[in-house]
Structure formats: structure tokens, C-alpha cells
Amino acid sequence: MNLRRHAFLTVVSALIALAIPDILRAQGANEQVLLHPPADSWPGYHGDYSGRRHSSLNQITPQNVATLGLAWAFQTDQSAPLKSSPLLVDGILYFTVPENVWAVDARSGHQIWHYNSAPSQGEHIGNRGVAMYKGSLFFLLPDAHLVSLNANNGTVRWKVDVADVGKGYWTSMAPLVVGKHVLVGVSGDFDNLTGYIRSFDPETGATQWQWNSTPPAGTPNQTTGGMTWMTGTYDPDLNLVYWGTGNPTPVLNGSTRPGDDLYTCSIVALNPDTGKLAWAFQVSPHDTHDWDAVETPVLVDGDFHGEPKKMLMQTSRNGYFFVLDRTNGKSLLTVPYGPVNWTLGVDPQGHPIPNPAKEPAPDGRLIAPDEGGMTNFRSPSFDTKNGLFIVNAHPSWSVYFAKPADGVYGWAGADYGVWGKGVIQAIDYQTGKTRWSHEIGPESGAGVLTTDSGLTFTGDGRSNFLALDSSNGKTLWHAGSGSRIVSSPITYELDGRQYLLTSSGGVLFAWALPQAQ
């Protein structure tokens, strides 16, 4: 190679390298951004596909976090609380409450556009956020429609049916984009309905495939339910998506659905291109306590008892911590992470064995945990630095009732929580033992975020945002937010400045270290 040619190629390479970030920015959430999110992005519900909610950002540290201050706040002026995880792509944040999407400048917090759909039927229980594919957003409405918006201006590209709201379905989750698929789950608990995941073409809205978690309603001696409430995770190397399924229906009365009730209360692995089931692991066979297994299936690669493993971890609503080999769904560890009294133990395959004496009864059964579970929709985090699975837990007790007069449709019984508290627990994934715990008062709906610098961000049951030392759980920073926290924090870096994003009530708060004016 002559010198002139070498110099030319060097200049061209440098120009290409400089241009790549702008190319990426111009393309929105393209496949590379979704697979390898840059520091200035949070392009999916969990940030990256792993569900770990662990950031490599380290500008905010245990040493300086006490100086964290408010960079800006955004008021939705809505009564519905923010339950969504914002997406950040190209410097713009996208977040939601039911029927509403906002696009907001991540540097200043000012609104760029606001989409508001017409009032709709269906349960308005909350909305977890949008998904993005290139320059398009995907948003679910309470009446079980999927809407695609132009991310530039919030105009509707297309709108398609996901389910029949008249039958009792609704939708609340943040879709998951994998390749050229928009994966969507459904919600519903008060009617005997089949749960499913449906894949849509991001360009046209056409259905690509559907995987049903349970048989059609009315199938004799078979369950319904298995709703797919929450966003799954994805392993690009294995090309498998991992998704949790919800409880069977009827909810508290299992008499019409004998057996395990597959695939309810399960973690399932699906091929995202075909919807074919690769494997399933049921965390609550024959559930009668409404313990959805839709808590984040967190993907971790690392050592397990001396062997390298591709693992999947879940702190499940039923009170058990599960570690699976995600290549085949085999159990590596099943252990309670709080009070549980509903099992006869764990079988050799790692499934808890339900105690029939603890099924809801006409005169009541005392059950731990309560219906809300040892944890719920709030996201946990896996701290890769300390090898800790950190979860906002809810040790709790309750009484469950069901009698013949309650029937076998929908809830089919009643349950009442009698006591509970909130605890941030750091679980050693090798043993399931809690390494540290941090009491947070009443149950909190705050998720968890960890960073490489050694910080755990979450919130307590008294509306305080918290930063804890990930190594021991000690509080390093807090800020009162004024309303209940029911969302999970995110972080990103823009213009060399790390931001922490938290929300409570209808307000989104951006926090950062002090900056010279």
C-alpha cells in the first residue's frame, strides 16, 4: 500500500468513525442500538435486552452522590401515576400513562409533543411505556389496541387490535422490539381468557405469529389465564425471548383446572421469529393465589458453583428466587427469599410443590406472601460488580377465601392482606441467601437500578428516592418526592453528564451532579 492510499484510507476511516454516532442518531432505535445501547440511550423498557438494569456509567459515585441535585422536572398534569420506564433515543425521552405518550427533551425536560388518545374502555391499571423500532414508537391502549406513532411528531402511523376488550382483556405493558418483531402481551384477571404473546410487523402492524399460554376458554378440565403482563428479555446469541406468564383462571378456585395448569405462572423461552416454544419452567404449579410469574426474567452470564453458565434469574411473586440454565430451562437454584408457607417443599426439578391445604377455603387460609407477592411489577437489578440480585421485596401475610357460591369464573374468591413491609434485599445468586437488606417502611412500588460505580437507586414506601451503597445497603442520598413511587429508575449520559431519572405520582425527575453555570 502506498503512502497516499494509506493516508486516504486513514482519513476516510476517521470520517466514518466520526459520522457513526450521527448515523445511529438519524436512525432512531435501530438493531445495533437495541443490541448494544450507547451510554446516551435507554432504547427499551429494561434499557438493554438483559433485564439487568445495571449501568456501566460511573460519574455518579458513592463518594459524590450526596451532592446529587435536581436538573429538571416534568409534570404530566395527569392523575394517573407514572409507571413507565422512559425510553431515551437521540436525546429525546418517551414515556407514558394510560392513553398518553410524551416526547421530552432529555437535556431540559421541555415537551416536544404529547399524544393523547380518545378515552377508551378496559382497565386503566397503568402503562409501562413504549417500544421503539427505527423512527417509530409502539404503544398499547387500555382497550387492547397497539398504536404505532411517528417518533418525530407523535402522529399515528397505524392502529391494530391486540385483543377483544369486550371479553375482559386489556393491555398495559411496554412492547419489546426484537429484530423485525414487535412483541406484545395481554392482561386480564376477571374473566376466563386465554393469555398470549403476539408478534406484529413494525412496518405494517400485520400479525406475524401468536403463542398461546393456555388452551381456548371452555376446554374441559383445562385452565385459562397465563396473561403476559410484562416485558420479556432477549438473548441474541441463543435467539430466544424469555417471558413470564400470569396466574391461571379462575384465580382462587382451581377445581375446574386440575393439574399444573401449563403454561401459567411460568417462565417461557420462545423463538422470536416463529413464536415456537423452546422450553418452559413453571414456578407455581396449579397456582391459587394470583402469583403471576411475570417479574423480570433477568439474564446473567457468569460462574455458577464453579461452572460458566448462561443463567436466567427471577425473584418471583410467589416468594421464591429461581436461577435457571437459560439454554434449556433446567433449574440451578430454587430458594425462598422471604416468608412462604404455601408449599410442601421443592421437587427435584426445582418446582415448588403447592400444599393443597393452603388453597383458598370458605373459612380462610393464612398465606405468605400476600396476593401482591414478595415482589411484583417493579424491576429488580443484577449488580454485576458484586454478584448481587437486588430486589424491592415485600414480606407479607394474608387470608384467602373461596367457597362454592363464589363460582368458577374470574376471581372466584376473595383475599385480604393483613400485614406487610418493604425491604430492599441483595441476594447472593449462588446461594439465594440475603447478603444485606434495607428496610423501607411500607411496601414500595419502586424498581431498582445499579451502576458500576457501586450505587443502587430505588425508592422507599414513604415516597423517598434512595441511593444506597451496593456493597452494604447503606443510604448515601435521598430526596422526598411527594407521591408514591411506582416506577423503576433509569440512567444515561448526555453531553458528558450522567443523569438519573426517577418518577413519582405524575412527575418525572432528572437528577445530576452540580454543574458550573
Partner 1 sequence: MPPFDRSDQQISSLAAFIHTQQNIALTGAGGRGGVGGRKGVDPSDLQTGNVEAGKKFFEGGGGCIACHSPTGDLAGLASRYSGLQLEEQMLYPRHAKSKASVTPASGQTITGTLAYMDEFTVGLIDSTGMYRSWQTRDVQYKIDAPQNAHVELFPKYKDEDIHNLMAYLQTLR
Nearer to partner 1, 67 or 155 (CB): 67
DSSP class of 452: T
Q: Does 259 bind partner 1 (CB under 8 A)?
A: no
**Contact residue for partner 1 among 368, 449, 510, 512 (CB under 8 A):** 368
Minimum distance from residue 495 beta carbon to partner 1 (Å): 32
Q: Does 292 bind partner 1 (CB under 8 A)?
A: no
Q: What track of x and - describes contact with partner 1 for positions 202 through 231 (by CB under 8 A)?
A: ------------------------------
How far apart are the C-alpha atoms of 309 and 324, rounded to whole Å? 9
CA angle 120–155–122, rounded 5-degree value:
15
How far apart are the C-alpha atoms of 115 and 138, rounded to whole Å? 12
How far apart are the C-alpha atoms of 241 and 224, rounded to whole Å? 22
Minimum distance from residue 476 beta carbon to partner 1 (Å): 12
Site for partner 1 in 441-480 (CB under 8 A): 441, 460, 462, 464, 475, 478
**Contact residue for partner 1 among 401, 435, 506, 513 (CB under 8 A):** 401
Q: Does 170 bind partner 1 (CB under 8 A)?
A: yes
Q: Does 261 bind partner 1 (CB under 8 A)?
A: no
Residue of 490, 265, 261 whose CA lies nearest to 373: 265
Q: Does 190 bind partner 1 (CB under 8 A)?
A: yes
How far apart are the C-alpha atoms of 73 and 82, rounded to whole Å? 13
CA angle 210–216–221, rounded 5-degree value:
140
Contact 25, 415 (CB under 8 A): no
Residue of 57, 36, 27 whose CA lies nearest to 489: 57
**Contact residue for partner 1 among 191, 203, 273, 469 (CB under 8 A):** 191
On the 0-12 / 13-18 / 19+ scale of CB atoms within 10 A, 65 is buried
Site for partner 1 in 58-117 (CB under 8 A): none
Nearer to partner 1, 435 or 478 (CB): 478
Contact 444, 420 (CB under 8 A): no
Q: What track of x and - describes contact with partner 1 for positions 23 through 62 (by CB under 8 A)?
A: ----------------------------------------
Q: Which residues bind partner 1 (CB under 8 A)?
A: 121-123, 165-170, 188-192, 249-250, 339, 341, 357, 361-366, 368, 397, 399, 401-403, 405-407, 409-414, 416, 418-419, 439-441, 460, 462, 464, 475, 478
